[in-house]
Amino acid sequence: MRGRWCAPAPTHLHAREPLRDLLAAHLPVRTFAELTVPFQCVAASIERAAEHWFTDGDLIEAVLASCAVPGLLPPVELDGEHYLDGGLVHSIPVGRAVALGADTIYVLHVGRIDRPLRPPARPWEVALVAFEIARRHRFAADLAALPSGVTLHVLPSGNAGPAAAGDLRNLRYRDFSAVPGRIDRAYVAAGDYLDRSGGPEGGA
């Protein structure tokens, strides 16, 4: 799998190099084959307008492709094909887990699917709500198609109340001040859920 950097352009705000350096510094291995726990990630192919699953080869290039958020980071070119963030095509890939033979699935989501949406009230809110509707619809369709004998658990995030359409904190991707608190709330909420449900090894 051959990767090539895209030069900074008006289509994105940030270069990819800092993220690549971060992955190189913290990932203990460089290929899928070296991982102890099986891992796959998805990206959106621009040319095919379809999902693409990375299962082997270079791990860093695959992760970069999977998290190339449109507008923030440039598409990743691999073997002549360009990829964007996998959340565009499969934000919560329950169907993939089922296809691979899973009979018990735990969803640890990073969005707000456990909170109802509110109608948009401002122009910029329309795009945010539209994206949420699209990704939640895919998740709902996967749930509706869940085969008998497959159990799915959606771990709670620890957030309460409806998701406000105009909450611009979701767009402040450089501000990490609220992250520790969110991690702590999610850890406690997920742990309580696993304790009640008798999850993996009896809890968190």
User: Rg for the chain (alpha carbons), in Å?
Assistant: 18
Q: With left for phi above 0 and alpha for psi between -120 and 50, is residue 85 left, alpha or beta?
A: beta
Specify the pLDDT at position 198.
Answer: 83
Residue 188 bridge partners (DSSP): none
Q: Which of 32, 67, 90 is the last residue of a domain?
A: 90
Same domain, yes or no, for 54 and 96?
no
Is residue 59 within 8 A of residue 29, CB to CB? The reply is yes
Whether 48 is in a domain gets the answer yes
According to the model, what pLDDT value does residue 164 have? 53
Same domain? For 107 and 67 the reply is no
Triad 94, 97, 101: Cα angle to 5°: 140
Most distant pair of Cα atoms in the chain: their distance: 50
Q: What is the DSSP letter of 202?
A: G
Tell me the C-alpha to C-alpha distance, in Å, between residue 77 and each of 89, 166, 188.
17, 34, 39
| CB distance 31 to 58 below 8 Å | yes
What is the torsional sign of CA 85, 89, 94, 95?
Answer: negative
Identify the burial level of 102 via C-beta atoms within 10 angstroms of its C-beta, where 0-12 means exposed, 13-18 middle and 19 or more buried.
middle
22 lies in some domain: yes
Give CA–CA dist 33/68, Å, rounded. Answer: 23
Of 32, 61, 90, the position where a domain reaches its end is 90
- The predicted-structure confidence for 40-88, as pLDDT tens digits, reads as follows 999 999 999 999 999 999 999 999 999 998 888 999 999 999 999 999 9
**Per-residue pLDDT at 5:** 47
Q: Which domain holds residue 85?
A: 11-90
Report if residue 203 sits inside a domain.
no
Q: Which residues of the chain have pLDDT under 50?
A: 4-6, 165-166
pLDDT of residue 126: 87
- Asked if 97 and 37 sit in the same domain, the reply is no
Q: Is 107 in the same domain as 81?
A: no
Are residues 189 and 157 part of one domain?
Answer: yes
